[in-house]
Structure 1
Amino acid sequence: MAEIIGVIERLWRYPVKSTGGERLDSVLVDERGLTGDRLYAVRDGSGRLGSGKNTRRFRRMDGLLRLSSRLGHRLDRPELLDPLGRPLPDPDTFLRAFLQREDVELAREDGVSHFDSLAVSVLTTATLDWVREAAPSAIVDERRFRPNIVLRTPPGTPPFIEDTWFGHEGRTESEDGARLTFSHSSERCAMTTAAQPGLPHAPEILKALAQEHDNRLDALAAVRRPGRLRLGDSITLF
């Protein structure tokens, strides 16, 4: 039976992977994900992408979370902003000095996906409230978890309700609304605890997630049907 699982309270897009993002009132979703989301990344000379971890695809680059990015009405190339929120006219030169790496540049996605896994991350207010209770000494903010959608859930919704959505489809009520197919959750790394503007280092958050939920948090989804997402849209699970 179809049920409403929540209302979209905030929408986030991160035009440059691993930097702070921009809040939106409405956004188009295409087959790839939110239009422009993580379309660019900081790439090193070996082709690895700036991230909070080291893997075959990613290279840990501390400091990226102190920067932010936005597209606004421009979808061809993002603006990179310094730690004070000022647009950078020459991002590559700044990045090389800021990261102290001569081989980095701002690069558009080509043959290697910039997503860690699936394209759209959804996080509920019920789960965020649990994190606040589990790590009371930390400043808990959704920006630590980098969701695309923060979903306001009804009172009494249990934490990690996202786990029950896997294998189901989420739809908004709008005729032009996007449809998402939920698959699994994100495995969290040290980036969750890293300092960023307004948020100090908070290792207790990852410790709480490890103890309670195997370091996993959110629901990741693929795009089943392109469309639009808007603040205030309710999402129904099918």
Structure 2
Amino acid sequence: MKVPVTPIGTVSELWRYPVKSMLGERCEALRMEARGVEGDRLFAVRDSKEKFGSGKSTRRFRKIEGLFRLQASYHHQVPHIRLPSGHVVAGDSPAVHQMLSEELGLPVVLAREEAISHLDAGPVHLITSASLAWLSSALPSVSIDARRFRPNLVIDVPGADLVEQAWLGKRLCVGKEVELEVCAATERCGMVASTQSDLPEEPSILRHIARQADLKFGVYARVVVPGTVHFHDSVVLGNGETRDLPPRC
């Protein structure tokens, strides 16, 4: 690996979402591989028309209300889903499909990823503390929290600006092992304003990002060199020219 020259910050949060569009789990370490974060969105709720539950409707996805009321975490590589009642159902339980169907109000099954990816775009999603500070300074009365944007990595960097937008096409070396290439800006949808856990609905968040940043907030990256990222790992910025690579995401 070519050694980059510009230190930029540290990893302040790590997140994984075992089931697409459900609340996820905060982690101390994440394994990065070609697909992205190991286990991230590996499962999804699938309806009778073979569309996957999401916060938006597209060719592959169907917006399903209520997914944000559910929280998923891994136990020995099996997702366990906590319902609003507090009841927890294992993803390999025969009862999981019926319980999810009753909770969401339509027939669904819990499906493991096969030929069709559950990921929206790039393999790894990251945001910075500077972007969150930029948003907080513009909306001081609004509850701004990294959880609204469902990142895999939050990188603590100085300032209050959309700094990661300047990283497109560049490499990030995270900790001792992982190298990422930033490949696309993340286009936001209404999920960022939705109620989740203790965060209230805040439509002004999406309006501000639309007006001031053309709906772009955070970036996607692909994994160039796999490995494990840890909480508080250092992050350094390279020039994006470490080796020949296949097409970007």
In the alignment, which residue of structure 2 is the partner of 1:198?
Answer: 198
What's the secondary structure of 2:132's corresponding residue?
helix
2:83 is equivalent to residue 79 of structure 1: no
Structure 2 CA distance for aligned equivalents of residues 44 and 100 of structure 1? 11
Structure 1 CA distance for aligned equivalents of residues 137 and 85 of structure 2? 31
2:117 is equivalent to residue 113 of structure 1: yes
Find the partner of 1:122 among 121, 126, 147.
126
Normalising by structure 1, report the TM-score: 0.93
Unaligned runs of 5+ in 2: 239-249
Q: Which deviations, in whole Å up to 9, do the C-alpha atoms of 1:174-221 show, x marking residues without a partner? A: 1xx211110111111111111111011110000110111011111110
In the alignment, which residue of structure 2 is the partner of 1:95?
Answer: 100
Structure 2 CA distance for aligned equivalents of residues 91 and 136 of structure 1? 41
Normalising by structure 2, report the TM-score: 0.89
Structure 2 CA distance for aligned equivalents of residues 13 and 199 of structure 1? 18
In the alignment, which residue of structure 2 is the partner of 1:185?
Answer: 185
Change (3 A) 1:82 1:211: same
What's the secondary structure of 1:46's corresponding residue?
coil
Please report how far the alpha carbon of residue 91 of structure 1 lies from its aligned counterpart in structure 2 after TM superposition. 2.4
2:28 is equivalent to residue 25 of structure 1: yes
What's the secondary structure of 1:212's corresponding residue?
helix
Structure 2 CA distance for aligned equivalents of residues 35 and 100 of structure 1? 30
Change (3 A) 1:181 1:83: same
Structure 1 CA distance for aligned equivalents of residues 149 and 46 of structure 2? 22
Please report how far the alpha carbon of residue 94 of structure 1 lies from its aligned counterpart in structure 2 after TM superposition. 1.6
In the alignment, which residue of structure 2 is the partner of 1:36?
Answer: 39
Structure 2 CA distance for aligned equivalents of residues 208 and 164 of structure 1? 20
What's the secondary structure of 1:131's corresponding residue?
helix
What's the secondary structure of 2:88's corresponding residue?
coil
Please report how far the alpha carbon of residue 84 of structure 1 lies from its aligned counterpart in structure 2 after TM superposition. 4.9
Q: Which deviations, in whole Å up to 9, do the C-alpha atoms of 1:41-72 show, x marking residues without a partner? A: 01111111111111100100011011110114
* 8 Å CA contact 2:175, 2:229 repeated in 1: no
Structure 2 CA distance for aligned equivalents of residues 94 and 183 of structure 1? 38
Equivalenced residues, count: 231
Q: Which deviations, in whole Å up to 9, do the C-alpha atoms of 1:63-113 show, x marking residues without a partner? A: 1011110114x22x21111125541243211211111102x1110000111
* 8 Å CA contact 1:186, 1:218 repeated in 2: yes
Aligned amino acid, residue 53 of structure 1: K
What's the secondary structure of 1:229's corresponding residue?
strand
